Amino acid sequence: MKKIIAVLAFTAVLCSFASCGNDVADEISEEFSVTSVSEEVTEEETTEEVTESETDEVTEEETDGKESENITESAEKLSAEGSYEEAIEMLVECINNKDAEGMISLVFPDRYYNVIEIIAEMNGVSLDEVADDMYDTSNESLRLAEIISDEPITDDYMVLINEMYGGFQAISDYIEKNGSENIDYDEFAEAIDMSDLKPYFEISDGHLVNCIFESENKNGEKDTYEQELIMYYIDGEGWKTDLFMMGYIKKAKQASINSGAATMYKASAASLTELDEPDVELPETCIISSDHNRSYNVNDDFVSQFEERLENFFSDYKEYNYFIVIQNGTAVYTAITKSENLQYIGTYPANKIYSADNEYVTKDEKITYDEIYNICLEQLK
């Protein structure tokens, strides 16, 4: 049932009333106040499920019909066919006007509009109530101030978009087959849980856009904030502004780097076991680092022997900046990152910071790799 819970959270993403949860995504500002769906996906699920579907695409004939009929007139009118900047401006206008139908039509692919309606109904809420939770009601207005960066979305983003909207496709197919009035929850859940579908649409263009927004509250107080958006274009539908995919992607990337840290930990433990021979003295307490200048309380000869074994167990270890904390001759903690993506730091145990008294503390998401290293070094001295 884990997948159905995650998918239901996706479809109720704009609504905090849903039973799946009502955490706010860290990556999305309070002005948008979008419910986090990424919190509903465990690291294990994300790591396992973020793969490209091998199933055949659903044909146009299979997806035409009831879904298209259920798209409201408002959704059709708000198709953003110009530039992606114009699409963002349209969405901002809908937010300022508290236009629920417009917001949903500019965020979700057209054929999933009825999915949002039905899931909202299943949770006993209206689209207006959904809209009430899409923005900070203390704000009088929101404005796109500046686009500060723009880069094409990469293949990993495409995979994640397909993965997420594959769940929407399963719901849409179920509704088309059975009708919105004849939903059996158990069958509904099973259909989604067993699904490995691709969404009906193809993305012809996509951008990761970093924006500056300005908001003004009812007291006339203004605030600016930076926000990343995924903009993607669907032929025949126009630009979509994804408000919550960034949270899902960041969770997936964090889960992946944590998985790498766990592999590093297991490989380190195996390497130390191999080195535990009569002619090799294991250090009691030390740090072994990819930057040898940061290795602590250990000689170069031991580090060299350790790395030879480490490569046997984890051939990709050189792709990471890493350090390994060894206590009483045993690996007890690892931290890794990649030079091209320093904001993602994987640790084992996951999302924890080492403590010499074994009272590990939760890793703050804003802490840097260097700061974690310095904390661990102080704990060993």
Please write the tens of the pLDDT for every residue from 95-141: 888 888 888 888 889 988 888 887 777 777 777 776 565 555 556 78
Per-residue pLDDT at 116: 80
How far from 353 is each of 252, 294, 305, 365, CA to CA, in Å?
Answer: 20, 18, 27, 11
Determine the average pLDDT of the residues in 212-216.
87
Please write the tens of the pLDDT for every residue from 176-187: 888 877 777 777
Determine the average pLDDT of the residues in 204-224.
86
Determine the average pLDDT of the residues in 291-302.
93
Q: Band of the pLDDT at 160, cuts 50, 70, 90?
A: confident
Per-residue pLDDT at 11: 42
Inform me whether the pLDDT recorded for 270 exceeds 70.
Answer: yes
Determine the average pLDDT of the residues in 167-171.
83
Inform me whether the pLDDT recorded for 232 exceeds 90.
Answer: yes
Please write the tens of the pLDDT for every residue from 70-85: 433 433 446 678 899 9
Per-residue pLDDT at 52: 38
Per-residue pLDDT at 353: 95
Out of 20-34, 159-173, 270-284, least confident range = 20-34
Report the chain's mean pLDDT, rounded to a whole number. Answer: 76
Angle at 19 between CA 163 and CA 249, to 5 degrees: 30
Give the end-to-end CA distance of the chain in Å, rounded to a whole number. 47
Out of 100-114, 153-167, 195-209, least confident range = 153-167
